[in-house]
Structures are given as C-alpha cells and as structure tokens.
Structure 1
C-alpha cells in the first residue's frame, strides 16, 4: 500500500498541513519540526512509494554540492570548480538548458548532511557531489550508506570529492580520494630530513577521515625515522580553524618547550600556530619551523611563505563536476587516488643549534 501524506504526519507527530509546508517550503517551520518531518519522509520512503512513484526514476536539472563550510577555501575552491563544470554543460538539461548546481552548507553537522540528501532525493536530483572528509561515526556511516543507495535507486549520480568511499558503496559511487596519508608522511619526512626530532602536531577534529589519515602519515614518518617519544602527548585535536592552531600551539610549547617544529592539520590552523609563536617572541623558522596542509591560496603569501602539502583542489572539483554530469568515465573500481605534493617553502628550516 502506498505511503500517504497522513502516514508521514503520523510518524512525525505533526499535522498533514505541517508536512505539506515542509515539503513545499512555502511557510516557515521550526527547524526541529522540519528535521522530524524529513526524517519521517526518509524512513517511510514517501517519495519512492507515494503518488510520485511514477516519476521516481526521472531526474531534474538540479545538482547538489555538499560542503562543510563554504567560507573555508578548501571547500569553496572544490565547490566552485564543480559548479563551473556542472553549469557550463550546454544542452545538458532535460529541456536543453544547463544544470542548476546548488551549494548545501552543512556546517559539519551529520544531521544536516542527511537532511540535505533527503531534500535532494525528493527533488530527484540529477547528481550529488559530497566534498571533504567524512565522519567515521558508525551510526552515521550506516545512515549515509542507506541514503546514498536510495539516491542511486532514483537515478542520481553520486560523486565523492576529497573523501574515501563508504564501505560497500564502491559499486555505485565515483570517489576522488586525496592521498592524505602520503601527503602527511612526506611533510614529516621533510622535517625529519632537516634534522627535526621534537615535533608537535595540531590535528583536526577526531572521527574525521581526513584527520585520521593525515595523522597516520605523520606518525608513519616518525616511526620510520626511529622517533618514538610520546606522540599522544605532542598531538592535540581541534577544529580546522585559526584559533585552534593558536591555542594548541601554546599548549604544545607548555608541554615541551624544546619543540623545534609544529605540523598543523591544514593551512588555516598553521596560520594560528604562527601567530601563537610570534606572540611568544619566537621566530619562524629560526626558532621553530611550521608546516601546514592543502596549499590554500594564501599560503605562499604568508610571512614567511608556508611549507605545506598541495592538494589539487580546483582540478579535483572540475573532475567531480564532469563525473556528476556523466561527461567523464568513472575511474577503475570507482575510486581514484589524487596525489599530494610537498611544497617546501621558507617556514621550515634546520632546527636551531644549542
């Protein structure tokens, strides 16, 4: 039996009118109510089994691009490049027009990520591009796996840009995964080759794939060099934000005043680390070296220019856009690993003597 609007209302514990308002977006509804309604829509497969079932396999001219933070250049560069490819495909729309690429800013919230995917499913989006690292919480992974499978069932292409595929999704997802482990390892190998042995690490948020992979690369380089030490004590986690780099660097200096280098989870965090060191009267790189990750546009203009790992963000975004439009053949096995390049600049040097 088909699921009705009344069934959704009963599951969400709201009136049918409220469900209609949420789905049509024509009347303000409290955020908590909206989330509850969309969860019920998803649980009951209302779009798939309801009156619109005859259209379930059809796709619209809409493409969703999910980002954690559009103000962060890491996401903005990829999203902008993907949007250019998607919007620039003349004649790709059903009526001969261009596709409409919509940026969905999740704020890093797993709940918002799922909500946006539900909305895109209901709109029968032609494609969805998910950018950046993924949350490794088992419940969220299970929910995402189910949600992406539902999207594919309705004809939506799924492209991951900068994140590894979910377990079991390789068959229907095209994934462009950055070599964060390799980049992290090469960055720390560079510092070790300069002579650094006491290296602090400012990591990103826990339970993010990007955080774990970059930290694994860092520690692999230390282990290969025979640098054991107390790596947990010299590793601090926090948001990918300047303030996190500033506060964590002060704490690292407190824990080990003899540090000769600080590796930051990304370039924005590295800027915070540099500010903290300058406020402590320390010179970069004469007193302490600093390195970042991503090679965001401001990195080369920092003073001194920041040693970092370059990820081809724009090129990855372009490729994701082409994959989303079916203009490029998916990589073998659905997964392509995108290399990371060490950019050695003036913020790193041999450690001070004495």
Structure 2
C-alpha cells in the first residue's frame, strides 16, 4: 500500500458533511437538504453532492438524519407492567413482539418497549411527546377506568396507533384481533361431538374483549348443539396465569364426575388446571377431556399433549406494525379493524 492509497482510505473513513460540501463546492446546509430531501434542490446540485459523497464514502448518521426529518424511526410498543410477572417471556407477548419486531426491522424502524403500570393514569399521547415515537402499538389494553378516554384522545389527534387483541364495541379505535368467538365455538363443538353435554369453561377476566368473545363462542356452540348455554355453575374465571388455573382445580374437581370436559381460555390456565387436578387424582385425557387456547410451545410438551386453538399471534403483531407504518407513510388507513382466523388443534388431552 503506497502513501496515496493510505491517505485516500483515511479520508474516506473520516469524511463528514463538511468534506462533502467542500468537494461538491456547496454549503453544508445544502448537503443536509440533499440527504434529508428538504426543499427544492436543483438536479445539478443534487448530483454534485451525491457524487462527492460517493467518492468520500460518506454516509449520513441515521439518528441525526431522522431528527432532521422530524422523525425518530422508532415505534413504541406499550405493554402493561405487572410486578413479579415476566410478561415478555410468556408465549402470548413473545409471539406478538417477535411479529412486530420482524416487520419493523424489515422496514428500517426500531422497537421501543414502553411499560405502563396498571395504577398509572392512562395517557398514550404522552409517549409521542416524551419518547418521540412515530407511532405506537398497544398490547394488554382492557376495558378499564380511563382506558377509553385515553384512546379517544389518541384517536382524535389522528396519531398512528393500533390496538392488538382488544376491541371496544361502539368505538372506532384501530385494532388487529383474532376470531376468538369462532375459536371457542370450534373447541366446544369438538367436545360436544364426543358426547360431552356438560362442559366446564375456565375463562379470563371479562374486561378483555377476547374473554367476552370466547364466552360468546362457548354459549353459541352449546346452543347450536341443543344444549343449555347459561349454566353459571359450569363457568369459572381465572386471570390467564398458570397459578389461577391451578387454584381453579379445587372448585372444578367436585364437578368432574358429571361434567367430564373442560375448555380453558388459554394454555397457561389449562396447564395449571391439569397440574391441580392431577394432584387430586384426575388425569386429562383419561378422566376428563381438556382443551386450552393459544397453541403455546408448552401445549406440545405436556403429558398428555394439550388440545388447543392456534391463534396467529406472530402474524397479528406483524400486521399491526405494517398498519402503523402505512399510516405514518400515507396518513390514511385502508382498513381500521381486522380479525385473523384461528384453528382448533386436537391432541391427546381431549381424545376421551
């Protein structure tokens, strides 16, 4: 390597906007306008700047460039903060976040994870101001005090956002969801087809729209098959945790001799229930039929393997990110609400 070669390489590595401006014979402000696509610029000037940058191997700093354009190229993903609960490690949140991250990464955007305490006053607009995000995706939203007001404010300002797996009847909020009533209908109908007429339902909190939709599907399946849909003694409520499923075993065990089928609103509760009932001498797939919901990795590893309903969580995350990015770039929404189909998967736990 001769002295000239070394000198040229060193210049390329250290090149900055000032060097590009000097070589192109323009001001630094003009260089900035070219790379940030701001204002009218003569084609001849633009060509000179780009040619100089190419010769110097100059690349504008991505963060500085985004601030110059008034954008951060970050999408905020808002998740609930629950002490002592590692939400991100659960199948539900990890799949959604993986889908969101995959789409954002393909599009050159970053993912900014924003935790929100359950006791904290809801204010989604503040994230656009304090964290400078270009859009936001809201996970774990529920029909609780202050939630609708915060979403109405966000919606009225026409800021790019999407809810995932939560809808609010009667409100025009943007959302990506799944056909949970159909998933519940499929699961319960499968149990009915095997001769089960009294089916226990372990649901989640009704402040989540997917819980009310699963309850709707459960009742519709019973009614469709000529069975009583309103037997409250067969309906229980957990909080979607494995612990709540385990605790529900104490109430459900006494019913099993006459009601030998259970549908749980997610796999975590189903697995907890399976463990709790096992300790009381009842084995899934032998003494009772059991179906979960979500098709988590754990559902394939239990013994017996857990029948479940597959929810396309990864795809829901992808679609939410895609919609927000489309909103940012086009300032318009083609479709405000979309629901993806779910699929019942039969395994050993319900083959009774």
Structure 1 residue aligned with 2:347: 345
Deviations 1:231-282 (A, max 9, x none): 2111111211011111113202235642201111100001011101211111
Task: Work out the CA distance in 2 between the residues paired with 1:343 and 1:130.
Answer: 28
2:147 is the alignment partner of 1:140? yes
Residue of 111, 119, 123 corresponding to 2:120: 111
Contact 2:98 2:317 in 1 (8 A): yes
Contact 2:168 2:209 in 1 (8 A): no
Contact 2:125 2:153 in 1 (8 A): no
2:131 is the alignment partner of 1:123? yes
Task: Work out the CA distance in 1 between the residues paired with 2:169 and 2:77.
Answer: 18
CA gap of 1:209–1:168, structure 2 versus 1, over 3 A, is: closer
Task: Work out the CA distance in 2 between the residues paired with 1:115 and 1:139.
Answer: 9
Task: Work out the CA distance in 1 between the residues paired with 2:335 and 2:169.
Answer: 13
Contact 2:323 2:333 in 1 (8 A): no
Task: Work out the CA distance in 1 between the residues paired with 2:334 and 2:222.
Answer: 33
2:315 is the alignment partner of 1:315? yes
CA gap of 1:296–1:117, structure 2 versus 1, over 3 A, is: farther
Matches within 5 A, 1:189-208: 189-208=189-208
TM-aligned CA deviation for residue 141 of structure 1:
1.5
TM-aligned CA deviation for residue 332 of structure 1:
4.9
Matches within 5 A, 1:93-104: 99-104=109-114
Task: Work out the CA distance in 2 between the residues paired with 1:315 and 1:164.
Answer: 17
Structure 1 residue aligned with 2:72: 60
- Which runs of no fewer than 5 residues in structure 1 stay unpaired? 1-54, 91-98
Matches within 5 A, 1:241-260: 241-255=241-255, 257-260=257-260
Contact 2:75 2:112 in 1 (8 A): yes
Task: Work out the CA distance in 2 between the residues paired with 1:286 and 1:346.
Answer: 9
Contact 2:184 2:215 in 1 (8 A): yes
Number of residue pairs aligned between Structure 1 and Structure 2: 277
Secondary structure, in 3 states, of the residue corresponding to 1:240? coil
Contact 1:246 1:272 in 2 (8 A): yes
Segment of structure 1 superposing worse, 158-167 or 74-83: 158-167
Structure 1 residue aligned with 2:104: 86
Structure 2 residue aligned with 1:157: 160
Contact 1:67 1:130 in 2 (8 A): yes
Could you tell me the TM-score, scaled by structure 1's length? 0.71
CA gap of 1:158–1:226, structure 2 versus 1, over 3 A, is: same
Task: Work out the CA distance in 2 between the residues paired with 1:117 and 1:279.
Answer: 48
CA gap of 1:256–1:230, structure 2 versus 1, over 3 A, is: farther
Could you tell me the TM-score, scaled by structure 2's length? 0.71
Task: Work out the CA distance in 1 between the residues paired with 2:114 and 2:276.
Answer: 33
Greater gyration radius: 2
CA gap of 1:140–1:159, structure 2 versus 1, over 3 A, is: closer
- Which runs of no fewer than 5 residues in structure 2 stay unpaired? 1-66, 81-86
Structure 1 residue aligned with 2:88: 70
CA gap of 1:199–1:78, structure 2 versus 1, over 3 A, is: same
CA gap of 1:229–1:294, structure 2 versus 1, over 3 A, is: closer
Deviations 1:119-150 (A, max 9, x none): 33433421111235x42236432332123433
